[in-house]
Structure 1
Amino acid sequence: MSRPERLANLAGVVVPFVGVLAAILLLWNQWVDWIDLGIFAVMYFTTALGVTVGFHRLLTHRSFRTAPWLEQSFAVMGSLSVQGSVMDWVADHRKHHAHTDVEGDPHSPHVGHGSGLPGLWHAHTGWLLETQGQADWKKYAKDLYEDPAMRKIGKRFPWLVVASLLIPTLLGYVLHGFTWEGALRGYIWGGLVRIFLVHHVTWSVNSVCHYFGSRRFDIEDKSTNVAWLAIPSLGESWHHNHHAFPRSAQHGLKRREIDLSALVIRGLERAGLAHDVVRITPERQAQKAIQPDREREKVLTPS
């Protein structure tokens, strides 16, 4: 990828966030205030954790176990992110792991769309129009397909999309003194802006975290760790670590690798709401780490 392409891709990730911050500053005390940001934050973390802890670490990889009522609650929270039904999300992601960065991967930036920006566009957004929701539930999400409660949540996805917009609208209406302007502000900041940012962060894990960043484990795919995405992604951007150890409940494997989703799982465990939490010992990590001679070989061998 050329330098201009790299800069263009970085701009595509950063500019939307800068735009939202600029909008907050320009509209402060006119069309956005602490109430609006509070509604945004509650909706962002609720739905993002529904994806990272619920859809991903619990339902896709079974990184920990929990009671059926909490499992179903996480499935509903993830559905409120408006990233597709729980059945489609889990099946697509398991298919991604089964064919990572090779033919069959639903959203690799390295397969079928050329190099550089075309591949990154496919991984970030284009795949939504081509391959999203095409993974066979019976093959890639059989456990969910055979669970009546999960099938019911999946079928109700359209209604959950409505709820995802209605909840912040009602919060804005009430918290701003039962005004229609407050309802509109809740709809915009807790609904539209929040969905946009949660989507953009998730898509960045698909695209950026398979192209830029660091690697330290000897695995065949092209996944990477991207530190500056760690906080907004709630720890999902330690994506190379995740591909090295897919069932690990903790993606940030080092102390300095911030992983808010892992902290939530730890809190659930301490509260007695999570058990059989999968953790990777330092010894296992060392076994899979890239050795200095192997690293030199990879650098010297033409790709």
Structure 2
Amino acid sequence: MTATTNTAAELGDEAPRRPKPKREIAPLTYGRKGNIEIFFLWVFVLAPWVALAAGIYLTANTPWAMNWTQAALFVVFYVFTGLGITIGFHRYLTHGAFKAKRPLKIMLTLAGTMAIEGGPIRWVADHRRHHQFSDEENDPHSPWRFGHSLGGLTKGLIWAHTGWLFTRENTNSRRFAPDLIADPDIRFFQKKFVYVLLFSLLLPTALGGLLTWSWQGAVAGYIWAGLVRIALVHHVTWSVNSVCHVFGERPFTTTDKASNVWWLAILSFGESWHNLHHADPTSARHGVDKGQIDISARTIWLFEKAGWAYNVRWPKASRLDAKRKDQALAA
């Protein structure tokens, strides 16, 4: 009698099945910040405050420290780099709220990098991780990290605003931003971050000097349109991380504490309509209700009309109504 081997088809359901290999999930963090990077983080958190104090002192004691030229430079650089964060880094690179032609992509990435909040790949990785774990344990900057008590929330607000920047672990960009790693234009700005940093400081310095034809104007440009402008952009962005996850209104259903904070809307170019953003992250417009000014959305609209942006994900009334708390309760 010869031995025979039954095939899997012959055995049918009795055939042994190999377990499916588990899909490997990349870790949340990868690599650590070195002491030099931590040092420079402290410099860029504290130096703008020193510059602000110097600017106030000089303005009170010298006629050249602040004038209409310096004010205009401050506003221009604040708007350019602020929109670089809100439109470029956030709505475009992180959430894909629209597609951009290459010149617009480069301009937005340059503007966002000039805000000096880190390179685009790391910024996007941190923010995508924030959305995946919003106000949960692995959220990199949740203000609820230390509990709901007064002391815990106070500590959490400080953490969400600036404290999280000094954690040693970096968010794993290969897990959260592989699309940006594959883009040579975005990689260029990530690698050249230090040069963009210098450009962001030296350009307003040079313009301040050239427009006033004086070294005093150059110093004032460095202080106001350089360091102080960077400080304001930073703290407005960080306020969305901290304030907008604790205080404000929540008309839309979300799984976290993301809230609308009206008094921050102008300075943040519409980012503080944060509740809708977390309810519908890919929407190109965050301020969707009457009276909610969203400068970033209007700018995207202009880009679309000019043909520079396309496939814009504008919010739809039916989609918004489905996410409203009152509609959900009525249903």
Q: Same fold (TM over 0.5)?
A: yes
| 3-state DSSP of counterpart to 1:134 | strand
1:206 is aligned to 2:250? no
Q: Name the amino acid aligned to 2:306.
A: A
| 3-state DSSP of counterpart to 1:116 | helix
- What is the aligned partner in structure 1 of residue 39 from structure 2? none
Aligned residue runs from structure 1 range 141-290, under 5 A: 141-177=177-213, 179-290=214-325
- What is the aligned partner in structure 2 of residue 86 from structure 1? 120
The percent of aligned pairs where both chains have the same amino acid is: 44
Aligned length: 278
- What is the aligned partner in structure 1 of residue 34 from structure 2? none
Contact 2:322/2:328, CA 8 A, preserved across alignment: no
**Whole-angstrom CA distance in 2 between matches of 1:207 and 1:32:** 31
Q: Name the amino acid aligned to 1:154.
A: Q
| Residue deviations 1:110-154 (CA, integer Å, cap 9, x gap) | 1247622100000001011116x7111111111000112211110
1:26: how far off? 4.0
- What is the aligned partner in structure 2 of residue 139 from structure 1? 175
With the length of structure 2 as denominator, give the TM-score of the two structures.
Answer: 0.79
With the length of structure 1 as denominator, give the TM-score of the two structures.
Answer: 0.86
- What is the aligned partner in structure 1 of residue 25 from structure 2? none
| 3-state DSSP of counterpart to 1:250 | coil
Q: Name the amino acid aligned to 1:291.
A: D
**Whole-angstrom CA distance in 1 between matches of 2:112 and 2:328:** 43
**Whole-angstrom CA distance in 2 between matches of 1:81 and 1:211:** 25
**Whole-angstrom CA distance in 2 between matches of 1:37 and 1:54:** 24
**Whole-angstrom CA distance in 1 between matches of 2:61 and 2:283:** 42
Relative to 1, partners in 2 of residues 1:215 and 1:171: Cα closer, same or farther, differing over 3 Å? same
Relative to 1, partners in 2 of residues 1:148 and 1:210: Cα closer, same or farther, differing over 3 Å? same
**Whole-angstrom CA distance in 1 between matches of 2:227 and 2:61:** 16
1:74 is aligned to 2:108? yes
* Consecutive unaligned residues in structure 1, runs of 5 or more: 1-14, 296-303
**Whole-angstrom CA distance in 1 between matches of 2:86 and 2:230:** 15
**What is the Cα-based RMSD across aligned positions, in Å?**
2.4
| 3-state DSSP of counterpart to 2:291 | coil
- What is the aligned partner in structure 1 of residue 86 from structure 2? 52
Contact 2:55/2:223, CA 8 A, preserved across alignment: no
